[in-house]
Homo-oligomer: A and B are copies of this chain.
Amino acid sequence: MKRKSFGAMNCPVARGLERVGDGWGFLILRDALNGMTRFEQFREHLDIAPTTLTRRLDALVAEGLLERRRYAERPPRDDYVLTERGHDFRPVVLTLFAWGARHFTPEGHGAALIDTRTGREADPILIDAVSGRLVSDPAFKMTPRRAAADANRNAPVRRRGRDRKEVAS
């Protein structure tokens, strides 16, 4: 059953989800970000049906997140390599990883993000590059773009208050 398309929604979150496709898309990108490139690596690691894997890899290639690189001619075989868009997905996987590790693996889990310069486990946090503050600070709010532009122009409070109700989408 085809789910509704999110691609027509004017929201970067919905658009991004549409490109990734589904949970398999996330897990394939996770594995690609961890260095996997071969069909057999993905198939074995994900324990996924080959037809499903083929369909998901084709979709990720079509969306520009992976690209094929031929590594053997007879029989023809391709590596699946991350594009720039695909590489840029890494923070999403890492924040999901951190969230899942905090809440859903009480028994511990198999992986850690390591700073190979020091050998220490990293603690990824999201900060605002402009102010240097943690984005978990409640002062950071999603607002409609028009309100955002107004805020930058010191628009009257009345306008911003009203627009904020519309919420990001």
- Residues of chain A touching chain B, judged by Cβ–Cβ distance below 8 Å, are 1, 3-4, 6, 10-19, 22-24, 26-27, 30-31, 33-36, 45, 48, 85, 88-105, 108-131, 133, 135-136, 139-145, 147-148, 151-152, 154, 167-169
A111 touches B34 (CB 8 A): no
Say whether A112 contacts B1, CB under 8 Å: no
Find out whether the CB atom of A139 lies under 8 angstroms from the CB atom of B168. Answer: no
Interface of A is mostly: mixed
* Contact across chains for B96 and A122 when beta carbons are under 8 A apart: no
Each complex incorporates copies of this chain amounting to 2
Chain B contacts for A121, CB-based, 8 A: 130, 148, 152
Query: Which residues of the other chain, B, contact A12 by a CB distance below 8 angstroms?
Result: 96-101, 104-105, 109, 111
Q: Is the CB of B88 within 8 A of A115?
A: no
Give the Cβ gap from A161 to chain B, nearest Cβ, in Å: 11
Of A48, A123, A124, A133, chain B has the most CB atoms within 10 Å of the CB of A124
The complex places the Cα of A168 from the Cα of B27 at a distance, in Å, of 11
User: In the assembly, what is the distance between CA of A3 and CA of B116, in Å?
Assistant: 36
Cβ contact of A113, chosen from B23, B116, B141, cutoff 8 A:
B141
State whether B169 touches A140 (Cβ < 8 A).
Answer: no
26 A-B contacts, Cβ less than 8 Å apart? A11-B30, A12-B100, A13-B97, A14-B100, A15-B105, A16-B97, A16-B100, A19-B104, A33-B142, A34-B142, A90-B135, A91-B95, A91-B99, A91-B126, A111-B148, A112-B142, A112-B145, A112-B148, A115-B133, A116-B139, A116-B151, A118-B130, A120-B130, A120-B152, A122-B129, A127-B127
